[in-house]
Homo-oligomer: A and B are copies of this chain.
Amino acid sequence: MATGRSHRPATRGRGIPEATVARLPLYLRALTALSERSVPTVSSEELAAAAGVNSAKLRKDFSYLGSYGTRGVGYDVEYLVYQISRELGLTQDWPVVIVGIGNLGAALANYGGFASRGFRVAALLDADAGLAGRLVAGLPVRHIDELESIVADNQVSIGVIATPAGAAQEVTDRLVAAGVTSILNFAPTVLSVPDGVDVRKVDLSIELQILAFHEQRKAGEDDRQEPDGDVPAVMPA
């Protein structure tokens, strides 16, 4: 596994910073709303406000894509929608499989935001044979044993995992072996994958704990109840 750090001039032609990539969908959403209202152009200031970011940041982000603005006027909404869509790869169709059709998996299957951006649910998979054939969001749940053939037949490259944590690594291994190279993981586990496979995780529990941390700090600034004292002396040997 070559680290490949030596060359790579930080920011180059196709080299869009990760932080910028993460914001492009945000801009796209704001632009789509403007497009639906038939707004022809927006300034970086307006668009930044709509997306909830700093305008200088937005301009720098766009500068990585090229010079698509017109000074004194702003950005052409339709053109920018197209450019960002193309950059994100949304001009093509992305078949997705969802594995684990329980509470969360079913909610995801019903989620309209999937189809709206070129993501098509190719199949719903579950290990529970009792679920097989049942319709969820208009699609039949299929047995996990069909995973390999479904991924191959539909050229699925993105998998969503909504199984219990204990099954997530096994499912991941099967997805990767079948040819999936991007995984969105909702199970609270660290997944290990080979190089070349991307994993992103969504973890509700972590988000809540981060909120709790800040919440506690806010409260502590007023109360200042226990500076340090009452820590149970559970010190190790």
Chain A positions near chain B (C-beta within 8 angstroms): 14, 21-22, 24-26, 28-30, 40-41, 50-52, 70, 76, 78-79, 82, 86-90, 92, 94, 96, 103-104, 106-108, 110-111, 113-114, 116-119, 157-158, 181-184, 188, 190, 192, 196, 198, 200, 202-218, 220, 231-232, 234-236
List 22 A–B pairs whose Cβ atoms lie within 8 Å, in order of A's numbering: A14-B220, A21-B210, A29-B205, A40-B236, A51-B190, A52-B192, A78-B234, A82-B234, A88-B213, A90-B209, A96-B208, A103-B107, A107-B107, A108-B204, A111-B204, A113-B205, A117-B205, A118-B212, A181-B215, A184-B211, A198-B211, A198-B214
CB-nearest residue of chain B to A119: B208
A228–B45 Cα distance when bound, in Å, is 29
Most buried by B among A88, A182, A196, A212: A212
Q: How many copies does the complex hold?
A: 2
- Partner of A188 from the list B21, B113, B212, B214 (CB cut-off 8 Å) is B113
Would A88 and B209 count as touching, CB distance under 8 A? yes
Query: How far is the CB of A232 from the nearest CB of chain B, in Å?
Result: 7
CB-nearest residue of chain B to A84: B209
- Partner of A89 from the list B50, B184, B207, B212 (CB cut-off 8 Å) is B212
